[in-house]
Structure 1
Amino acid sequence: MSISAAFFAQAQDVSIIRNSIDVYSGSPMVGSSKFNAMAGSNGALGGDASSLLTNPAGLGVAISGEINGTLSINNNKNTSSLAGSSINYNVNDVDLGNVGGIMTFQLMTESAWKFINIGVNFSNQSIENYVETPGNSNLMYDFDVDRSSSYAGHAYNRYGNLSKTSFGVGANYNHNLYLGVGFNFFNATIDQYDTAAFKSLQNGAIDYFDKQNTPYFERSTGFSASLGVIGKVSPNFRIGAALETPTFWEIERSYDFYNDPELGDDFGYENRRFTSPLKATVSAAVVAGKNFSLNADYSLGLSRPKYKVYGPAETELNDFFEDNYKNVSELRLGAEYRIKQLRLRGGYSYVSNPLDALTINRFTNEGTTGDQSYSNLILNDRNLLSFGLGYDFKSFYIDAAYQNVTSKYSNPFMRGILTDNIDSAYYSPTDIVTSDAYIVSDVKNSRNNFFITFGWKF
């Protein structure tokens, strides 16, 4: 499929696609350090409030109350390469990553129902991302007959946070069957900038240009619900399944626009409604006594992202997702080994590329233009490797975890046109830069996440 010129002009920016998938169709997966060290794989194990991130039936596994808090320290490094040059940039964040708790209520009856448990979990992660790409003097832009420039650099800058607050109930039937339901409330903040730099061929001065409809700011809330079940096939083997509804988002947007025929340079406001994909998870776990456990989760998106249509931008976005979006799958593996009071943990996860191969008109490094197909445009698959330690002081415990997350993708930017009523060009205070072609850099993203959890069991 080719991405049409009209699509990105009306849809405002490539980043709208990226955020629709990466932010609004994703979900915070920052749990306790135990959860994070096992790569988020606990769908058939459960036992703590982080179960609300995967399978709420895990609440029913708990037989004692618990509360914990997790500090998250994150490093996000992007390396963007173009025409033989690269720029590295690191972003560091410290956040309250997770708070969770379970209250257990043992049913003192002759019934096979043993426990009814209530869980609360707050998961929070930074979505800050900065990609700076070097210039290429072979790429020329004509502002007017007396002034030409070469492309001198580009910066994509996103600030913000994504959080998920979950409330759930889990039940234990005869210590063999566990059921659960969860209700999830999301909040997202996005402040996003898109700036290009050009060097004058006449006097060497550098001009900076903001893309039309940027910077933009979004404040969003969402809701989803989840159902889950875990069953013991044998004393040492469990299976689980969970279903999470789409997240129904309400998005409030504000943005800068430039050179409007009637309003000039001003601010715009709009509201959007967005629905993320429905998601299912199946799980299996081996529990070898009290010393070793191994869990595997497989999650699959069952629908596509979709905007409520208010105008041509939402129609074009929905058409794009209909034609080019692939149902995202995720595999998570996690294990824990106990040596008396010491816990050793490790995990791995893989998330598939959410988009088909896409063909766009792009600049070559020599300055010519032409069509090229990319299998990893805008986003790509992601690999996560994790490990951790924990120590149990009877009622109190301390856990720590480390995650390394990597991804490589092709980064399109700088396309902007000004024809008829379609305007997605780049603006300085007095000038307009337009081109039908993208510049495409190669981006390597590496994230190093550290977590420490303090918990109390009662």
Structure 2
Amino acid sequence: MKQYIYAAALLVANVALYAQGDLNTAADAVRYSLDNTTGTARFRGLGGAMGAVGGDLSAMSVNPAGSAIFNYNTGTATGAVYNVKNKANYYGTHTTDKDSSVDMAQVGGVFVFNNANENAFLQKFTLGFNYENSNSFENSLYMAGTSPNSIDQYFLGYANGRGGRPAVSLNTLNTGNYNYMTFAEQQAYLGYNAYVFNPTTDGSNTPYVTNMPQTGNYAQQSRIQNTGYNGKIALNFATQFKQSVYLGINLNIHVTNYVNNISFYEDTNNLSSGGMQELQFDNRRYTYGGGFSLDLGGIVKITEQLRAGLAWKSPTWLRLQDEITQSLYAYCPECDASTSNGNIILDPGMTYILDDYTVRSPGKWTGSLAYIFGKSGLVSVDYALQDFSNTRFSSSRYGYINDELSQTLDMAGELRVGTEWRVKNFSFRGGYRFAQSPYKNGTTVGDLQGYSGGVGISFGDSKLDLAYSWYRRDADVSLLQQGTVDAARVQSTNNNIVLSYTIDL
């Protein structure tokens, strides 16, 4: 007889598993490859188009030569308010959810060492450091609708084997110790003991077949709450040669902290037929780790007004680890005679720490042009290219996922345009950003379009800058992110307010 499991207290177990090839998907790799335009208020107000402008702590993240534009020792700190509104469409049912957060978005400084000899070849060099929240994962989604497909395919996919992995044996499901199972075996174990599927008895080609009612559609809903960030610490060195050439390098340390909470609910719409009535599957995934990358860049003054820049960002290597907590609830009065009310609760009460793995995000080239109108203002354009098909997981266990990344991802361009105009002590800014989809189909994650504006005031040795940015992007989001085929179409609209304080020393 299938087991009835209930754990009243939380037990934490550290178990090294080889399950990441089953847990991770191509979408997980893409998550760590996408960056947002973050940083100082001036940078955001200009739409991030500062590759040839420089003179800003966040600008050196685009082109590290930009720190050699500084004339004085400078420090900047930035706070931000993030707001995201998600509109989801799942089989014709529309839902809306919002999330807001406040964060220290940036802090950094640069030290300028000038050569007293104005005719020297090496005019100056700079040492800088900058921390930025390069991507915020703060997000809240609610999706609901009626689907022709049940969650049974999630559990059956693991039980019957996928991605070259064999099916889970019936002996493992009946007598195996959950604590020492692989991730795939655990998913099959939960589904089997919640009566989602049964062993095959009709001689079909698969070991297990669904036990879910096949009488109609399934009412489903999912609440997804994400928190966390991608942070980057840049250690910068830049030089100015003569009056027209600037070169720079960044050594970047990356920090990732991501928490994904999913509560998926399915009503089988089966009251008249009996059998399985409801399922609720709760998942908590905590991903953390760090990595490194390298930036190289140069800026040339073609004329006193016209500047050109070129920068290369190396691939980013992130070493990550996952902690997983799961529970499954089912209501099936006819499934298990040992339950008095039909409630089946599978709660192992354990947090599993899985083995670590590496994600390599693609490198990026950025070309920039800026025209400086003396002290009156500027117009700047950046264009970046990134080949997302080079995104990879490190291990051979991810062979089929890496093949999917190569086949579905593509080269993507990003255009950023910005302008700034000064009136006495005030500066007024505007920006535009367009980023192509990283996917060949252009829909799994759609194109991004954004606008920004800002204002700054100078107090002599210090400045206060305020910026507002808006951008929108559509994407397909699965109600249960690991391995399900059904996805809602989600339109995400982001509104950010950023305030920076800069002091020249």
**Whole-Å Cα distance in 2 between the matches of residues 415 and 94 of structure 1?**
26
**Whole-Å Cα distance in 2 between the matches of residues 137 and 28 of structure 1?**
33
Residues 28 and 123, structure 1, Cα contact 8 Å, conserved in 2: no
1:359-398 CA distance string (max 9 Å, x none): xxxxxxxxxxxxxxxx412x11111110000000111111
Q: Which amino acid aligns with 2:42?
A: K
Aligned counterpart for 1:188 among listed residues 252, 256, 265: 256
**Whole-Å Cα distance in 1 between the matches of residues 87 and 321 of structure 2?**
31
**Which of 1 and 2 has greater Rg?**
2
Q: Which structure 2 segments of 5+ residues have no match?
A: 1-18, 153-195, 197-210, 329-346
Alignment TM-score, normalising by the size of structure 1? 0.82
User: 1:91-102 to 2 correspondence within 5 Å?
Assistant: 91-102=99-110
Q: Which residue of 2 aligns with 1:118?
A: 127
SS at 1:355 equivalent: coil
User: 1:147-186 to 2 correspondence within 5 Å?
Assistant: 150-186=218-254
**Whole-Å Cα distance in 2 between the matches of residues 234 and 227 of structure 1?**
23
Aligned-CA RMSD value = 2.6
Q: Which residue of 1 aligns with 2:392?
A: 306
Displacement of 1:41 in angstroms is 0.9
Q: Which residue of 1 aligns with 2:405?
A: 321
Q: Which amino acid aligns with 1:340?
A: K
Evaluate the alpha carbon distance shift between residue 12 and residue 75 of structure 1 in structure 2; reply closer, same or farther with a 3 A threshold: farther
Alignment coverage as a number of residue pairs? 403
Displacement of 1:405 in angstroms is 1.0
Q: Which residue of 2 aligns with 1:228?
A: 297
User: 1:192-231 to 2 correspondence within 5 Å?
Assistant: 192-200=260-268, 201-202=270-271, 206-210=278-282, 214-231=283-300
Q: Which amino acid aligns with 2:464?
A: I
Aligned counterpart for 1:395 among listed residues 457, 461, 480: 461
Bigger drift between 295-304 and 326-335 goes to: 295-304
SS at 1:70 equivalent: strand
Identity %: 23
Aligned counterpart for 1:80 among listed residues 63, 74, 88: 88
Evaluate the alpha carbon distance shift between residue 412 and residue 258 of structure 1 in structure 2; reply closer, same or farther with a 3 A threshold: closer
User: 1:238-387 to 2 correspondence within 5 Å?
Assistant: 238-256=307-325, 265=348, 267-302=352-387, 304-311=390-397, 314-357=398-441, 375-377=442-444, 379-387=445-453
Displacement of 1:257 in angstroms is 6.2
**Whole-Å Cα distance in 2 between the matches of residues 308 and 191 of structure 1?**
22
Displacement of 1:349 in angstroms is 0.8
Displacement of 1:58 in angstroms is 0.4
SS at 2:468 equivalent: strand
SS at 2:354 equivalent: strand
1:384-427 CA distance string (max 9 Å, x none): 110000000111111000000101123344598xxxxxxx6xxx
SS at 2:42 equivalent: helix
Q: Which amino acid aligns with 1:234?
A: T
Displacement of 1:295 in angstroms is 0.8
**Whole-Å Cα distance in 1 between the matches of residues 39 and 353 of structure 2?**
37
1:101-146 CA distance string (max 9 Å, x none): 1111111134122111111111014212222211217666784378
The structure in which a higher percent of residues are strand is 1
Q: Which amino acid aligns with 1:388?
A: G
Evaluate the alpha carbon distance shift between residue 17 and residue 129 of structure 1 in structure 2; reply closer, same or farther with a 3 A threshold: farther
**Whole-Å Cα distance in 1 between the matches of residues 471 and 213 of structure 2?**
48
**Whole-Å Cα distance in 2 between the matches of residues 410 and 245 of structure 1?**
28
Q: Which amino acid aligns with 2:96?
A: N
**Whole-Å Cα distance in 2 between the matches of residues 256 and 376 of structure 1?**
31
Residues 257 and 268, structure 1, Cα contact 8 Å, conserved in 2: no
Bigger drift between 281-290 and 126-135 goes to: 126-135
Q: Which residue of 2 aligns with 1:449?
A: 496
**Whole-Å Cα distance in 1 between the matches of residues 481 and 296 of structure 2?**
44
**Whole-Å Cα distance in 1 between the matches of residues 353 and 107 of structure 2?**
37
Q: Which structure 1 segments of 5+ residues have no match?
A: 1-8, 358-374, 417-423, 425-436
